[in-house]
Chains A and B, each alone.
Chain A
Amino acid sequence: MPKDTMNKVEPHITVQDLTMAYGDFVIQRNLDFTINRGDVFIIMGGSGCGKSTLLKALVGLKRPAKGKVLYGNVSFWDVEPDEQDVIMRRCGVLYQSGALWSSMTLAENVALPLETYTELSQSRVREIVSLKLSLVGLSGFEEFYPSEISGGMQKRAGLARAMALDPEILFFDEPSAGLDPISARHLDELILELRDSLGATFVVVTHELASIFTIANNCVFLDSASKTMIAGGDPRTLLSESTDPRVLLFLTRGERGASTAKEAVVS
């Protein structure tokens, strides 16, 4: 458990009574949870339940309809854009598709955050860029354009870019989607490695069970029918202790709780 290495549990992101909606269409309501420093925090739930929308509220892309997102004790959506930028600068985001800037080479992609926020010399930037790319196993691909490499490589390059500024918090939107099992496992190992070495907090949107049990020590479970969170905490504890059929159904790929869940659905 990572908490052995931490001196104390310190809240990093606190979500209070958050409601997200597109117009009048509510996606999720009344979300309350805390992500602690050094957590690998999973946002899970079935397809279309609002995981990615929640992520957007956390990284400042979509204003929630109601509620607060606290970074430390600063309420992200209530402060000036300048201050939001300062908060976001401490975060890195890996998008589902990688979202590399297609008109730039991998090196330029990773270098842009560095050039924007630091006064480092060109040669220093180049060194850091090749370090970050080698961390994700892409050394030698500096001069490639995103369209010239495979989807898995794009994702890893996206991770290198997200890590460019050594962020305190890294957000992942479905990191293992479209990766083969071995690459997905490497990515999991990379996440744990980075958590231990950088002490960063990870917030991961995923429904990949293998990853969830390997990397997570905390989670929130969103449900699309009731439009709110129905469980939270360590997923392994959830698996052994939860009595909610919907959670069990999800965590066991439908093997346990199947009959009870069916009854719940029917009733």
Chain B
Amino acid sequence: MGRFFMQTIRSVGVVQLSKSSDNIVTLGLSGNWQLREEAPSAYDMQKRIEENLPVSSIAFETSGLSGWDSSLLVFLVNLSLYCSQTEIVFDDSGLPEGIRRLIMLATAVPEKKDAQKQPGKESFLSAIGGATLKLAVSYREVTDFIGSIVLSSIFFMRGRANYRRVDLFRLVYECGAQALPIVSLISVLIGLILAFVGAIQLRMFGAQIYVADLVGIAMVREMGAMMTAIIMAGRTGAAFAAQIGTMQVNEEIDAFKTLGVSPVEFLVMPRMIALILMMPFLCIYADFVGILGGFLVGIGMLDLSFMEYYNETVSAISLTNCSIGLVKSLIFGILIALSGCLRGMQCGRSASAVGAAATSAVVTAIVWIIVMDAIFAVLTQVLGI
């Protein structure tokens, strides 16, 4: 089979068709049949055979064949399939031994008809129907999941949940302490940005001092909770989805289930608790660091004194603002943990499914964070807080 490497003449595969009086078509195969070159196609050959009907049998003559690889095999296998459909005898006795064996191998097992997936086009209506059904299933999954989380948290509060305390502590550390550097960086920058935006406008009225109010209230009420949530969705939510998704791929989740250990209790609960516990702390921390960022601008650019800025900030921030921020961060924590763990549990059994789960966890979480924040904004407006 490897003889074609020795060929110096780059001749292409050629077929010559000749028909004898007793309706036998002889195909003279010659030249070098290589995948890299254009080779005659079986489809063209079929047409040429059809022009020569009636044909009872196809034979081959290969004395001019200098080299061959899969391209010849594809040609011959397609031709033999065509022959079996049209009841023309495929006489392979003229072919080299190697090709004959490969053709036999390729045609030994008939194509499994029901194994083939139909890639065909879906009609518009069936696409809508399919999407609706998928949506219904996914809502059921989400409801199921939330239900089992509620049940597990009842177990947890009774102290009967099955989880390892070591895991919980490790997760608390990962969700809390390890997130501090990135939260610090982002918060200080958000504080700076807010202060700059405010400063340009407020300086026109000589009201620079109100930069302290702006930064203080914005950080405590909105940005602290929101930015921490977005950071944690990208950092921890994705990690949860990937961790649980990989365990799904490795059958580890199955192993929990057959052991009668609820994966929700063992894997999801500690993650939920760790994140929900840590979110308010991270939020408070982000508030402080953000205000510090605003303070840097205030002192450095607006020539405010330390005490001025401090007093203005303290008088601007009310307890209500603080609690709204904290409640939000708590709810964001639930949303992030929920979407991360849910996507992980829904994960398919392949490497790309893990990636999709992580992506989808982040997207779901961020969408819900923003939606929830908007709901909060409207609610607090209506309630007048």
CA distance A244 to B260 in the complex (A): 40
- A95-B109 in contact given A112-B261, A116-B162 (Cβ < 8 Å): no
Whether A101 lies near B252 (C-beta < 8 A) is: yes
Tell me, rounded to whole Å, the shortest Cβ–Cβ distance linking A96 to chain B.
7
**Any B CB within 8 A of the CB of A215:** no
Residues 252-264 of chain B: 1 if any A CB is under 8 Å from the residue's CB, otherwise 0?
1011111111000
Tell me, rounded to whole Å, the shortest Cβ–Cβ distance linking A128 to chain B.
16
Whether A116 lies near B258 (C-beta < 8 A) is: no
Chain B residue numbers with a CB within 8 Å of A102 are 246-247, 250, 252
CA distance A107 to B259 in the complex (A): 16
Per the 8 Å Cβ criterion, residues 96-125 of B in contact with A are: 108-110, 112
Tell me, rounded to whole Å, the shortest Cβ–Cβ distance linking B105 to chain A.
13
Query: Which of A32-40, A72-80, A83-91, A204-212 participates in binding chain B?
Result: A83-91
Chain A residue numbers with a CB within 8 Å of B162 are 116
Residues 280-321 of chain B: 1 if any A CB is under 8 Å from the residue's CB, otherwise 0?
000000000000000000000000000000000000000000
Per the 8 Å Cβ criterion, residues 92-108 of A in contact with B are: 93, 95-97, 99-103
CA distance A117 to B162 in the complex (A): 10
Chain A residue numbers with a CB within 8 Å of B112 are 225
Which of chain A's residues has its CB closest to B257's CB?
A: A61
Whether A113 lies near B259 (C-beta < 8 A) is: yes
Chain B residue numbers with a CB within 8 Å of A60 are 257-258
CA distance A2 to B162 in the complex (A): 39
Tell me, rounded to whole Å, the shortest Cβ–Cβ distance linking A91 to chain B.
7
CA distance A159 to B256 in the complex (A): 14
Give which listed residue, B251, B252, B261, contacts A116 with CB less than 8 A.
B261
Chain A residue numbers with a CB within 8 Å of B246 are 102
Residues 215-258 of chain B: 1 if any A CB is under 8 Å from the residue's CB, otherwise 0?
00000000000000000000000000000001100111011111
Whether A265 lies near B109 (C-beta < 8 A) is: yes
Per the 8 Å Cβ criterion, residues 117-154 of A in contact with B are: 117
**Any B CB within 8 A of the CB of A249:** no
Tell me, rounded to whole Å, the shortest Cβ–Cβ distance linking A85 to chain B.
4
Which of chain A's residues has its CB closest to B167's CB?
A: A103
CA distance A250 to B261 in the complex (A): 38
Chain A residue numbers with a CB within 8 Å of B250 are 97, 99, 102
CA distance A85 to B256 in the complex (A): 11
Whether B260 lies near A99 (C-beta < 8 A) is: no
Chain A residue numbers with a CB within 8 Å of B260 are 85, 88-89, 116-117
Tell me, rounded to whole Å, the shortest Cβ–Cβ distance linking A166 to chain B.
14
Tell me, rounded to whole Å, the shortest Cβ–Cβ distance linking A35 to chain B.
17
Interface size on B, residues (CB 8 A): 19
Whether A100 lies near B110 (C-beta < 8 A) is: no
Chain B residue numbers with a CB within 8 Å of A225 are 112
Which of chain B's residues has its CB closest to A56's CB?
A: B254
Which of chain B's residues has its CB closest to A164's CB?
A: B259
Tell me, rounded to whole Å, the shortest Cβ–Cβ distance linking A6 to chain B.
26
Tell me, rounded to whole Å, the shortest Cβ–Cβ distance linking B17 to chain A.
29
**Any B CB within 8 A of the CB of A230:** no
CA distance A225 to B109 in the complex (A): 11
Chain A residue numbers with a CB within 8 Å of B251 are 95-97, 99
Tell me, rounded to whole Å, the shortest Cβ–Cβ distance linking B139 to chain A.
18
Chain B residue numbers with a CB within 8 Å of A191 are none
Chain A residue numbers with a CB within 8 Å of B261 are 112-113, 116
Whether B252 lies near A93 (C-beta < 8 A) is: no
- A265-B110 in contact given A102-B247, A116-B260, A116-B261 (Cβ < 8 Å): yes
**Any B CB within 8 A of the CB of A59:** yes
Tell me, rounded to whole Å, the shortest Cβ–Cβ distance linking A142 to chain B.
16
CA distance A168 to B82 in the complex (A): 57
Chain B residue numbers with a CB within 8 Å of A89 are 259-260
Most chain B CB inside 10 Å of its own CB: which residue of A60, A99, A102, A117: A99
Which of chain B's residues has its CB closest to A108's CB?
A: B164
CA distance A93 to B259 in the complex (A): 8
CA distance A161 to B261 in the complex (A): 14
CA distance A88 to B261 in the complex (A): 10
Chain A residue numbers with a CB within 8 Å of B257 are 60-61
Whether A88 lies near B255 (C-beta < 8 A) is: no
Tell me, rounded to whole Å, the shortest Cβ–Cβ distance linking A101 to chain B.
5
Residues 337-368 of chain B: 1 if any A CB is under 8 Å from the residue's CB, otherwise 0?
00000000000000000000000000000000
- A88-B258 in contact given A116-B162, A265-B109, A265-B110 (Cβ < 8 Å): yes
Most chain B CB inside 10 Å of its own CB: which residue of A95, A97, A101, A225: A101
Chain B residue numbers with a CB within 8 Å of A100 are 252, 255
Whether B247 lies near A93 (C-beta < 8 A) is: no
Give which listed residue, A88, A97, A265, contacts B259 with CB less than 8 A.
A88
Chain B residue numbers with a CB within 8 Å of A95 are 251, 254-255
Chain B residue numbers with a CB within 8 Å of A265 are 109-110
Whether A99 lies near B109 (C-beta < 8 A) is: no
Most chain A CB inside 10 Å of its own CB: which residue of B109, B257, B259: B259
Per the 8 Å Cβ criterion, residues 249-267 of A in contact with B are: 262, 265
CA distance A88 to B257 in the complex (A): 9
CA distance A119 to B53 in the complex (A): 84
**B residues engaging A (CB < 8 A)?**
108-110, 112, 162, 167, 246-247, 250-252, 254-261
Nearest 7 CB-CB pairings of A with B: A99-B251, A85-B260, A99-B255, A95-B251, A93-B258, A59-B258, A88-B260
In the complex, 22 of the A-B residue pairs with CB atoms within 8 angstroms, ordered by the A residue number, are A60-B257, A60-B258, A88-B260, A89-B260, A91-B258, A99-B250, A99-B252, A100-B252, A100-B255, A101-B252, A101-B255, A102-B247, A112-B259, A112-B261, A113-B259, A113-B261, A116-B162, A116-B260, A116-B261, A225-B112, A262-B108, A265-B109
With A116-B259, A161-B255 given, can you name 10 additional A-B contacts, CB distance below 8 Å?
Answer: A59-B258, A60-B257, A61-B257, A91-B258, A93-B255, A93-B258, A95-B251, A97-B251, A99-B254, A100-B252
